[in-house]
Structure 1
Amino acid sequence: MEDEFPKKRNVRPVEKSNLPIITLSVLVLLVLAMLYVGYEYISDSSSNSEELTSVVVDPNPETELAEPVEEEPQPITSTEKTERPEPVKEKVKEVSASSIGGEQITHSVKSGETFSSIAARYNLKLETLKGLNSSVSDVKAGTTKLKVQVKTIHTVGPGDVLRVVAEKHGVTKDAIMKANGKTKDFAERGEKLIIPFPQKK
């Protein structure tokens, strides 16, 4: 007598694969990495927006502009052709390190850095950084070294995580990471950390 439920022949074995889970995990990590890089780019460019948003307001708004007067072109003489006025260089008011306080460090300019990006990194005003380096007119990667004032230099001790160091000096953890060029919240024992000023100087 045959069984009521005959055995199934050629049953396909069930395979358990972790490939979809691994693929999904990799995609999620890529999206998070792209969001993080985008956030860093936006926050870096927004810290430099101070220069772009400063507007000079005319103290006398009631004064009317005079209509432009058209002048006839004058013939150029031979002496005018050879004499060219030298470009006017912007005078930078020199700033002394003692007036700011803190400690002075030397920053070697890297590729892509400007006065404004370096000032933002160490939480300094642009005019302060230029005043500390009044002899430097243009920054060049690899050759230019700038004097920078910071609050202090902290040597990492046992139990010093960045959050604790930030609280100890009254600055944010992000400000310490930015000043030290860190992308990860990690500091090794004995490492010297640059502590920027809490407010722009």
Structure 2
Amino acid sequence: MEDEFPKKRNIRPTEKSNLPIVTLLVLVLLVLAMLYIGYEYISDSSSSSEELTSVVVDSTLEENAAETISDEPAPADDPIEETKPEPVKETPAAPKPEAKPTVSAASIGGEQITHTVRSGETFSSIASRYNLKTETLQGLNSSVPNVKAGVTKLKVQVKAVHTVGPGDVLRVVAGKYGISKEALMKANGKTRDFSERGEKLIIPFPDRK
């Protein structure tokens, strides 16, 4: 009779091994390493492409190239004509009228009369009539540029104005003031040796002033 309780067979103990777990971890680490390396490669390639596309052209190279082109001589078939500016003609300034020196009546002395210019008279002829220099007459009338007959009135300095009295003939009056009868007649515009009582005679200077 067999034993009621059969003897238990020796069962081989199962050994627990950690090898699969280690292998799995290694594989995971390899995958992660590959992913990291691939990411670094991709990022490096993208940055290098950005650097290539962002290269700035050096402007100095373009300027040097432009200067080189401009320095080249022009072809002989097409010479460049230089246009010279036309000289500016200077307009001569109009001559300014010379200012007449002013002469004061006090420096000449005598008395002052007013002479109305007649036809054909000039500064020179009027000055000669009263035995004055032309410059002296112009100096007395420095504000008068020219004379007009019947319009212009000139200031004239004479030695005196004599009122004819009884017995005052031209010769006597001339001798009284030390001038010639001809000078007295010329100053008063007389053509005859005649004077009336009460007439005012202009006495010119004996010497030209």
Residue of structure 2 equivalent to 1:114: 122
Distance 2:150 2:93 in 1: 32
Q: Give the alignment's TM-score, normalised by structure 2.
A: 0.57
Residue of structure 2 equivalent to 1:192: 200
Return the offset for 1:90: 1.4
Aligned pairs (5 A) from 1:30-109: 77=88, 80=90, 85-109=93-117
Residue of structure 1 equivalent to 2:137: 129
CA deviation profile, 1:125-179 (whole Å, cap 9, x unmatched) = 1110010000011111011000000000000000000000000010111011000
Distance 2:87 2:167 in 1: 75
Distance 2:165 2:127 in 1: 28
Structure index of larger Rg: 2
Distance 1:143 1:76 in 2: 49
Distance 2:180 2:165 in 1: 19
Distance 1:95 1:151 in 2: 16
RMSD (Å), alpha carbons: 1.4
Q: What SS does the aligned partner of 2:202 have?
A: strand
Distance 1:146 1:76 in 2: 50
Residue of structure 1 equivalent to 2:168: 160
Inter-CA distance 123–76: structure 2 relative to 1 (3 Å threshold) = farther
CA deviation profile, 1:97-140 (whole Å, cap 9, x unmatched) = 00000000000000000100000000001110010000011111
Distance 2:162 2:186 in 1: 15
Verify: 1:175 aligned to 2:175, yes or no.
no
- Between the two proteins, the alignment pairs up a number of residues equal to 124
Residue of structure 2 equivalent to 1:5: none
CA deviation profile, 1:18-63 (whole Å, cap 9, x unmatched) = xxxxxxxxxxxxxxxxxxxxxxxxxxxxxxxxxxxxxxxxxxxxxx
Q: Give the alignment's TM-score, normalised by structure 1.
A: 0.59
Unaligned runs of 5+ residues in structure 2 are 1-85
For 1:152, the aligned partner's letter is A
Verify: 1:139 aligned to 2:147, yes or no.
yes
Inter-CA distance 76–135: structure 2 relative to 1 (3 Å threshold) = farther
What is the aligned-residue identity percentage?
72
Unaligned runs of 5+ residues in structure 1 are 1-74
Residue of structure 1 equivalent to 2:23: none
